[in-house]
């Protein structure tokens, strides 16, 4: 009797805790409706399936009315007809499958408490549905697959739409993105800045610094994949000329080459043990056919000593790729030693009482200080597991 009563009480406690967590999450974020850019279809600026591109827009107020923050969604890439067809009928290939409401939190929050430097700005979430980090532009459409490779056109159409909404009069602009969207922010940064000569423009790449590293077996898996992305989407003409004049177009999807010639101030927010890169660059399925790395990739705390040693080597490669950019006083860096991927869009990692810290500084403060030239921030964390402020990802 006592035992069953304790079980019931524990179940109620779990329910109460779950409700409290949900209420806290609702207090930290809110929903913004989708806008479909129907006019872009006539320009051929469409998602993989031919549907119109989309974005979510929350208008600024007060002192932020003429300031704009653009945040580009991530979602990897597709490198051939087969993988693009797999995306075609998902939110990453069609606006038909996108959620009608998008959660704005972290860097997109409108609450001063959670986003003190950008809360009053015009904030835009650009949805990702082309599979090329907005670099593709192939006129022909294969009648068999009916796939459209038009990412660069989508990007231009959305930027033109935002300019018409008032961005052309902007005083301050931050172009940002997560993962493949973070890569987009790097690739389009200089050309975007050229459209706004009267504004202060900077760019933030969150988890977008993908490195050209070999996999566990020494194979150039990610290098081959990026080359295929460029070939499939016809991306070469839309990559930074400062890069393609020196390197092959396939290499110019990698920031370690593409960002070398950048003129616009750039902030790199990245985990040195980026979860996506560990899972897909260091130890992709093709390099681990027996699943030896399965548990380690799901939870860094389950890595063996030899696997951790391999990951420390990957961190070394990551930092070496960073150093290839050379030094720049205008660059910001927050490179922590967490097992994470994308840290600006979630409140728990952007700014909260338990958020990740580097040198006692939150990501939100580091980015804000850098953008407004209050204080330089170029910090690289000590190796795992020294950082106790991390929110390490655990995958099912």
Q: What one-character-per-residue DSSP string does 205-229 give?
A: EES--------TTS--HHHHHHHHH
Give pLDDT, residue 3.
Answer: 46
SS (H, E, C) 123-185: EEEECCCCCCCCCCCCCCCCCCCCCCCCHHHHHHHHHHHHHHCCHHHCCEEEEEEECHHHHHH
Omega of the bond leading into 385 within 30 degrees of 0 (cis): yes
Q: In the structure, what pLDDT confidence band is assigned to residue 10 with cuts at 50, 70 and 90?
A: low
Answer yes or no: are the C-beta atoms of 208 and 188 closer than 8 Å: no
Average pLDDT for 301-315: 98
Average pLDDT for 43-49: 98
Answer yes or no: are the C-beta atoms of 179 and 208 closer than 8 Å: yes
Residue 396: pLDDT above 80?
Answer: no
**CB neighbours of 155 closer than 8 A, spacing ≥ 6?**
134, 184, 188
- Count other Cβ atoms within 10 Å, centred on residue 324: 14
Bridge partners (DSSP) listed for residue 32: 102
Residue 129: pLDDT above 80?
Answer: yes
Residue 260: pLDDT above 90?
Answer: yes
Q: In the structure, what pLDDT confidence band is assigned to residue 2 with cuts at 50, 70 and 90?
A: very low
Give pLDDT, residue 11.
Answer: 55
Active site amino acids: 179, 274, 341
Q: In the structure, what pLDDT confidence band is assigned to residue 29 with cuts at 50, 70 and 90?
A: confident
pLDDT in tens, 167-226: 999 999 999 999 999 999 999 999 999 999 999 999 999 999 999 999 999 999 999 999
Give pLDDT, residue 13.
Answer: 47
Q: In the structure, what pLDDT confidence band is assigned to residue 375 with cuts at 50, 70 and 90?
A: very high
Answer yes or no: are the C-beta atoms of 60 and 123 closer than 8 Å: yes
Residue 18: pLDDT above 90?
Answer: no
Give pLDDT, residue 27.
Answer: 57
Half-sphere exposure of 207 toward its Cβ, with a 13 Å CA cutoff?
28
Comparing 104 with 13, the larger pLDDT belongs to 104
Average pLDDT for 381-386: 97
Residue 24: pLDDT above 50?
Answer: no
pLDDT in tens, 92-123: 999 999 999 999 999 999 999 999 999 999 99
* DSSP state letter for 361: E
Residue 26: pLDDT above 80?
Answer: no
**CB neighbours of 58 closer than 8 A, spacing ≥ 6?**
32, 104, 108, 110, 122, 123, 124
Encoded tokens for 146: 């009916």
Kindly report the backbone phi and psi dihedral angles of residue 271, in degrees, each rounded to the nearest multiple of 5, phi listed first.
-90, 135
Answer yes or no: are the C-beta atoms of 134 and 151 closer than 8 Å: yes
Percent of the chain with pLDDT over 70: 93
Average pLDDT for 46-51: 98
Helix (H) or strand (E) holding 57: strand 54-58
Q: Average model confidence (pLDDT) for the chain?
A: 94
Only one residue has tokens 């097992």, namely 339
């Amino acid at each position: 009797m006592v035992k069953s009563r304790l079980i019931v009480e524990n179940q109620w406690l779990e329910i109460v805790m779950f409700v409290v967590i949900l209420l806290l999450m609702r207090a930290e974020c809110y929903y913004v409706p989708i806008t479909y850019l129907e006019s872009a279809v006539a320009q051929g600026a469409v998602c993989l399936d031919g549907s119109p591109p989309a974005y979510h827009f929350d208008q600024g107020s007060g002192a932020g009315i003429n300031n704009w923050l653009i945040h580009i969604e991530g979602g990897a890439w597709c490198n051939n007809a087969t993988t693009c067809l797999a995306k075609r009928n998902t939110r990453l290939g069609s606006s038909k499958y996108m959620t009608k409401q998008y959660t704005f939190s972290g860097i997109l929050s409108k609450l001063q408490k959670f986003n003190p430097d950008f809360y009053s700005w015009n904030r835009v979430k650009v949805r990702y549905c082309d599979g090329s980090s907005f670099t593709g532009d192939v006129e022909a459409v294969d009648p068999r697959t009916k796939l459209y490779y038009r990412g660069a056109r989508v990007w231009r159409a959305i930027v033109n739409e935002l300019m018409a909404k008032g961005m052309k009069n902007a005083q301050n602009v931050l172009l940002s993105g997560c993962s493949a969207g973070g890569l987009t922010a790097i690739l389009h940064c200089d050309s975007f800045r050229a459209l706004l000569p009267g504004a202060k423009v900077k760019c933030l790449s969150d988890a977008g610094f993908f490195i050209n590293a070999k996999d566990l077996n020494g194979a150039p898996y990610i290098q081959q994949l990026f080359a295929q992305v460029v070939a499939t989407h016809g991306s070469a003409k839309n990559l930074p000329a400062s890069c393609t004049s020196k390197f092959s177009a396939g290499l110019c999807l990698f920031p370690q080459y593409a960002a070398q010639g950048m003129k616009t101030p750039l902030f790199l927010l990245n985990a040195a043990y980026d979860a996506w890169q560990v899972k897909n660059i260091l130890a992709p399925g093709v390099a681990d056919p027996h699943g030896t790395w399965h548990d380690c990739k799901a939870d860094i705390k389950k890595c063996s000593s030899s696997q951790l040693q391999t990951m420390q080597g990957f961190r070394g490669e990551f930092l070496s790729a960073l150093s290839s950019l050379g030094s720049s006083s205008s660059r910001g860096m927050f490179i922590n030693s967490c097992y994470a991927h994308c840290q600006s869009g979630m409140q728990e990692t952007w700014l909260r009482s338990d958020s990740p810290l580097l040198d006692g500084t939150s990501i939100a403060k580091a980015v804000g200080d850098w953008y407004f030239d209050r204080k330089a921030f170029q910090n690289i964390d000590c190796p795992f597991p020294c950082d106790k402020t991390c929110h390490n990802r655990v995958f099912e």
